[in-house]
Amino acid sequence: MKTRIKIDQLEPAGYRAVLGMEKFIESTPLTRTHKDLIKIRASQINGCAFCIDMHTKDARKAGETEQRIYALNAWRDTPFFTEEERAILALTEEVTLISNHVKDETYEAAAELLDETYLAQVILSIITINIWNRIGITTNLIPAS
């Protein structure tokens, strides 16, 4: 397996635009935990090995537990996640699998727990990691061993 094109070198302006979204997300009051859960879960769904590797390492450095990281793909069946995290994870799954649309129940559950600005930031965070996943998968980014 080898990396295909390097978008950051071939289209630096486009790449900088995506990086701008990432910088915006990092500047928001979204908690580190919420950002990490969104990034890991969307990357699991999309199958982006590069992003899974990067974001699980980042989450561990930020204090996330191995138990929660390992259980993330089965979060519904564990007691390890808060009500707020569950709403964010459900929204992450539905936005990532957008062809199935975001159910009213999923959106409303998140809207009940999060204020509108925080909810907007969660949605933008989900969208941003999905962009990165598509870049990583399409260009065959390989995690460092």
Which amino acid makes up residue 58?
A: D
The pTM is what?
0.96
Q: What is the DSSP string of 4-35?
A: ---HHHH-HHHHHHHHHHHHHHHHSS--HHHH
State the Cα–Cα distance between residues 141 and 6, nearest whole angstrom.
9
Q: How far apart are CA 14 and CA 35, in angstroms?
A: 23
Q: What is the pLDDT of residue 25?
A: 97
Q: 122 and 114 in contact (C-beta within 8 Å)? A: yes
Choose among 60, 61, 105, 59: nearest CA to 86.
Answer: 105
Q: What pLDDT, on a 0 to 100 scale, did the predictor assign at position 125? A: 98
* pLDDT value of position 145: 78
Nearest to 51 by CA among 121, 138, 137, 109: 137
Ranges in the chain, pLDDT < 50: none
| Residue 78 confidence (pLDDT) | 97
Kindly state the tokens that stand for 14. 């486009």
Give residue 53's Cα distance to chain centre: 13
- For residue 1, the model assigns a pLDDT of 75
Give the residue from 79, 92, 94 showing the smallest Cα distance to 38: 92
Task: Give the pLDDT confidence score for residue 77 in this predicted structure.
Answer: 98
